């Protein structure tokens, strides 16, 4: 359903040789799956997501969503950013931020949009904060607002660019579980980029490990752990530990090279 | 800006008392430096008999026309320049050359083209107010975070929606900053152009009373001008505080962190 074929992205700096961010990246994401992309810092993970989201043109290769080539931001796909404080609209309340996700949908009245927005605000656990401004909330709460704003559109695919990267460890655990619950009830497809190996294993059905720049997929790992996952038992499961160890070794080897 | 706190008000009153005392030191001095009480009494008199009101009205009308026109032109131009960088690159040297030139220097040119009437005064006011609003608008648009623009893109906003729902509100705090700077400039240019050539307006009145040696009237009109400036600024801050409440809250939060 979401297919990335031999994606290549070069940047031309003001002087000197072009920088190849993505060498040749290929992978598939099946509908309804939770797939992670793990790789060393600076390996082009964000660039990859921008290309998939249609925000940046690849230098070569293609992204196919349901067999159709992505040339601009496609319908049914939303990219969620790590920088929630820059992505949310500081001039809009929580309710109006979430409603933003629906505003350019034809055939919905203001009342319907507000009702739907309120429903998703409740789903992400922010009931009672509708009238607050984002900057009045903690980081974790702000990212919940951004998640609600994305999910209110009922996207088939949600791309998440290190969404919990700037949150503290406890908030992060909380949001991982909140995200899994939402994903299980809404059944969207999630492509989740992270440099946190444990996070990737904990959340995913499948993880793709990227090499250093120029990035390519060096391994595909199937995570066969039962759902619903549990922060204690899942993380203590020998299969979890084995997967983590395996990815860690792959990435260490990469980083030693780069 | 906070409302005058008690201590600030005391300093203000102290200065008025000092003015009063100094001016009463000699009769000769009081001829060109009349005591505050006399100036305020004169102000009350010329306001009461309607003498000053026509001049205030004439100045305020020029102010309103010039300021509104400048705001409309400069915000529009600033948004275009901010959104379209090649256009800005093309005009940047021109803007950088014209901007620092003291704007009263345009009055003689404006007189050549527009004569000595209201058009000339409004035109120089527009010219002077244009720059701060233009440059702040450009900066405001260019400072919009790419993450915010990418957010608009991933939500598939069309160009007009992107402009209306993202660019304009995101740049608005800085546009307001430009508008505030130009508020004072507008009053300066209205007064200056009226002093150069006019037969009404506060600028004309002040200079005219000085030339005809009606010194208390001259001071009274200057006090009126100061009060108008203060009042306009207060009005602006009230509107700003109401419309930009979100931004005040955000910056307060950032200061705490």
The mean per-residue pLDDT over the stretch B133-150 comes to: 96
Nearest to A90 among B153, B161, B246 (CB): B246
- Cβ-count burial of B58 within 10 angstroms (0-12 exposed, 13-18 middle, 19+ buried)? buried
Give the residue on B whose Cα is nearest the Cα of A87: B148
Percent of chain B scoring above 70 in pLDDT: 97
- Test B158 with A90 for CB contact under 8 angstroms: no
A interface mutation test: which of B143, B145, B148, B150 has the most A CBs within 10 A?
Answer: B150
Query: Which 3 state secondary structure label does DSSP give A91?
Result: coil
Q: What is the reported pLDDT for A14?
A: 85
Q: Report residue A106's pLDDT band, with 50, 70 and 90 as the boundaries.
A: confident
B179-230: pLDDT as tens digits: 999 999 999 999 999 999 999 999 999 999 999 999 999 999 999 999 999 9
Tens of pLDDT, residues A185-207: 988 999 999 999 999 999 999 99
- C-alpha A13, offset from chain centre: 27
Whether residues B157 and A55 touch (CB distance < 8 A) is answered with no
By DSSP bridging, strand A189-194 and strand A34-38 are parallel
Number of other residues whose CB lies within 10 A of the CB of residue A226:
10
pLDDT(B256) > 80: no
Q: How far is A178 from chain B (nearest CA, A)?
A: 22
A119 near A82, Cβ under 8 Å?
no
Q: Name the residue range of residue A135's domain.
A: 85-154
Mean per-residue pLDDT, B129-136: 97
Q: Is the pLDDT of residue A6 over 80?
A: yes
pLDDT value of position B171? 97
In a domain, A210, yes or no: no
Angstrom distances, CA of residue A105 to CA of A8, A66, A89 = 33, 21, 19
Beta bridge partners of A210: A217
Q: Any idea which of A95-99, B16-20, B49-53, B252-256 has the lowest mean pLDDT? A: B252-256
> Would residue B9 count as lying in a domain?
no
Verify whether the Cβ–Cβ distance A55 to B150 is below 8 Å.
Answer: yes
Give the structural domain span for B50: 36-256
Chain B hits for A84, Cβ within 8 Å? none
Q: Determine the average pLDDT of the residues in B232-238.
A: 95
Determine how β-strand A206-210 pairs with β-strand A217-222: antiparallel
Residue of B nearest to A155 (CA): B155
Q: Work out the minimum CA distance from A42 to partner chain B, whole angstroms.
A: 18
Q: Shortest Cα distance from A149 to chain B (angstroms)?
A: 10
Q: What is the pLDDT of residues A55-105, one digit of tens each?
A: 999 999 999 999 999 999 999 999 999 999 999 999 999 999 999 999 988
Q: What is the pLDDT of residue A254?
A: 87
Chain B segment 162-181 residues within 8 A of A by beta carbon are: 165-166, 169-170, 172
A143 inside domain = yes
- Give the per-residue pLDDT at B2: 53
- Take residue A156 and report the two structure tokens written for it: 């088939």
The CATH number for B112's domain is: 1.10.3720.10
Instruction: Confirm whether B238 is domain-assigned.
Output: yes
| Closest to A240 (Cα-Cα) out of A196, A197, A201 | A201
What is the C-alpha separation between A199 and A229, in angstroms, rounded?
Answer: 12
Q: Over 60: is that where the pLDDT of B8 sits?
A: yes
Looking at mean pLDDT, say which of A132-141, B3-12, B245-254 comes out highest. Answer: A132-141
Mean per-residue pLDDT of chain A:
93
d(CA B72, CA B19): 42
Instruction: State what percent of residues in chain B have pLDDT above 90.
Output: 86
Tell me if A104 is assigned to some domain.
yes
Q: How confident is the model at residue B3 (pLDDT cuts 50, 70, 90)?
A: low
* Closest residue to B161, CB basis, from A50, A104, A153: A104
Element (H, E) at A221: strand A217-222
Q: Tens digit of pLDDT for each residue in A132-181? A: 999 999 999 999 999 999 999 999 999 999 999 999 999 999 999 999 99
CB B168 within 8 A of CB B140: no
Percent of chain A predicted with pLDDT > 70: 100
Look at residue A258 in the predicted model and tell me its pLDDT.
65
Chain A residues whose CB is inside 8 A of the B166 CB are: 89
For residues A218 and A209, the answer to whether their CB atoms sit within 8 Å is yes
pLDDT of residue B257: 63
Please state, for a pLDDT cut of 90, what percent of chain A lies above it: 84
Render pLDDT for B15-44 as a digit per residue (tens, 0 to 9): 999 999 999 988 888 889 999 999 999 999
Total count of domains within chain B: 1
Counted domains in chain A:
1
Would you say B148 and A86 are in contact if contact means Cβ atoms under 8 Å apart? Answer: yes
Say if B30 is an interface residue toward chain A (CB within 8 Å): no
A76–chain B Cβ distance below 8 A for any pair: no
Asked whether residue B4 carries a pLDDT value surpassing 70, the answer given is: no
Structure tokens at B148: 């915010």
Q: Sheet with A2-11: list strands edge to edge.
A: A19-29, A2-11, A60-65, A68-69
Cis? peptide before A83, omega within 30° of 0: no
Assign A213 a pLDDT band (cuts: 50, 70, 90).
confident
B246 in A contact zone (CB under 8 Å): yes
- Whether the CA torsion B24, B27, B29, B31 is positive or negative: it is positive
C-alpha span between A202 and A244 (Å, rounded): 9
What pTM did the predictor assign? Answer: 0.89
Per-residue pLDDT band for B75 (boundaries 50, 70, 90) equals very high
- Torsions phi, psi for B233 (to 5 deg): -65, -40
B148 close contact with A: CB closer than 8 A: yes
DSSP B79: H
pLDDT attached to residue A101: 95
Q: Report the residue of chain A nearest B162, measured CA to CA.
A: A104
């Amino acid at each position: 359903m979401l297919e990335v074929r031999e994606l290549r992205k070069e940047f031309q700096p003001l002087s000197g040789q072009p920088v190849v961010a993505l060498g040749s990246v290929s992978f598939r994401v099946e509908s309804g799956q939770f797939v992670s992309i793990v790789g060393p810092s600076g390996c082009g993970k964000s660039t990859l997501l921008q290309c998939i989201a249609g925000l940046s043109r690849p230098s070569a290769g293609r992204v196919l969503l349901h067999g159709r080539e992505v040339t601009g931001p496609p319908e049914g796909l939303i990219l969620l950013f790590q920088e929630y404080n820059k992505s949310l609209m500081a001039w809009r309340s929580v309710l109006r931020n979430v409603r933003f996700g629906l505003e350019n949908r034809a055939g919905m009245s203001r009342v319907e949009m507000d009702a739907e927005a309120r429903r998703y605000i409740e789903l992400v656990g922010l009931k009672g904060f509708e009238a607050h401004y984002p900057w009045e909330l903690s980081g974790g709460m702000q990212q919940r607002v951004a998640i609600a704003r994305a999910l209110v559109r009922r996207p088939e695919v949600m791309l998440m660019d290190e969404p919990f990267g700037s949150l503290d460890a406890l908030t992060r655990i909380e949001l991982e579980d909140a995200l899994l619950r939402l994903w299980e009830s809404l059944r969207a497809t999630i492509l989740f980029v992270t440099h946190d190996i444990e996070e990737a294993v904990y959340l995913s059905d499948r993880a793709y490990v990227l090499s250093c720049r120029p990035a390519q997929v060096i391994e595909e790992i199937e995570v066969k752990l039962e759902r619903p996952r549990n922060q204690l038992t899942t993380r203590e499961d020998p299969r979890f530990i084995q997967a983590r160890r395996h990815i860690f070794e792959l990435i260490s080897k990469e980083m030693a090279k780069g | 800006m906070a409302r005058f706190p008690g201590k600030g008000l005391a300093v203000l009153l102290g200065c008025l008392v000092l003015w009063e005392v100094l001016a009463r030191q000699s009769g000769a001095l009081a001829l060109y430096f009349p005591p505050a009480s006399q100036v305020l009494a004169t102000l009350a008199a010329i306001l009461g008999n309607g003498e000053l009101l026509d001049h205030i009205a004439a100045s305020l009308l020029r102010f309103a026309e010039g300021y509104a026109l400048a705001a409309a032109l400069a915000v529009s131009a600033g948004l275009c320049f901010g959104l379209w960088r090649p256009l800005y690159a093309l005009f940047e040297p021109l803007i950088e050359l014209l901007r620092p030139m003291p704007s009263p220097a345009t009055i003689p040119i404006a007189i050549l083209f527009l004569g000595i009437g209201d058009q000339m005064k409004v035109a120089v006011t527009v010219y002077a107010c244009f720059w701060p609003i233009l440059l702040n608008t450009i900066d405001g648009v260019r400072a919009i975070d790419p993450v915010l623009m990418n957010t608009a893109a991933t939500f598939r906003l069309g160009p007009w929606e992107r402009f209306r729902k993202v660019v304009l509100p995101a740049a608005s705090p800085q546009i307001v900053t430009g508008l505030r700077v130009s508020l004072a400039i507008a009053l300066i240019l209205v007064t200056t152009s009226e002093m150069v050539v006019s037969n009404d307006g506060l600028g004309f009145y002040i200079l005219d009373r000085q030339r005809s040696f009606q010194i208390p009237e001259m001071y009274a009109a200057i006090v009126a001008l100061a009060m108008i400036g203060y009042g306009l600024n207060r009005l602006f801050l009230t509107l700003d505080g109401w419309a930009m409440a979100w931004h005040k809250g955000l910056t307060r939060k950032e200061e705490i962190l």
